Amino acid sequence: MKKVKIGKVEYEQVETAEDLSIKRFTNLKEYLIYKETGIAYPNLVKTIVGFIQGFDNESKSQMLITLSDFHKGLQQTNDADQMVFAIMTFDKDEDKNNFDETKAREKLERWNEAGLTQKTVEESVTNFIQASSAHFVTSLQVSLTMQSLEE
């Protein structure tokens, strides 16, 4: 673990994905998908499944509704880098094994008030991803492919 300073307080931060608990790692994968596609993972899966079902049923209306829902997902304003930063950076007494999105947003709000910048977030996330092993990247790609096929 390394330390990152936000305002006057230092926080612990994992350096690679391999250092995360398995639950946080699962959340990380979802936010990395969001980072790459601009679509939250559940919305992306729902879109793919809905479109395939519409195609199988020869239902143009179902396909159109699915694309409309997909478009709504594209308009979300969440920042994936900020959520990854919240996954990899811990408050002093934070549960490092579990991830709570509501608490993560509260942390980000506090850190924003303490002076956290998007530059710090993006640099930390970029370094984290680059420091994670090639195995992590490969396993993430395989996992995403398998999850898409299963759903």
**For 107-132, how does the pLDDT look when each residue is reduced to its tens digit (9 = 90+)?**
999 999 999 999 999 999 988 888 88
Q: Residue 150 pLDDT more than 60?
A: no
CA distances to 11, 107, 109, 120, 151 from 114, in Å: 12, 10, 9, 13, 41
> What does the domain layout of the chain look like in residue ranges?
2-38+80-150, 39-75
Residue 44 is predicted with a pLDDT of: 67
Residue 117 falls in which region: left (phi positive, over 0), alpha (psi -120 to 50) or beta = beta
Residue 144 is predicted with a pLDDT of: 57
Dist CA 91 CA 11 (whole Å) = 6
User: pTM score, two decimals?
Assistant: 0.66
Dist CA 122 CA 139 (whole Å) = 23
Give the residue from 25, 9, 42 showing the smallest Cα distance to 128: 25
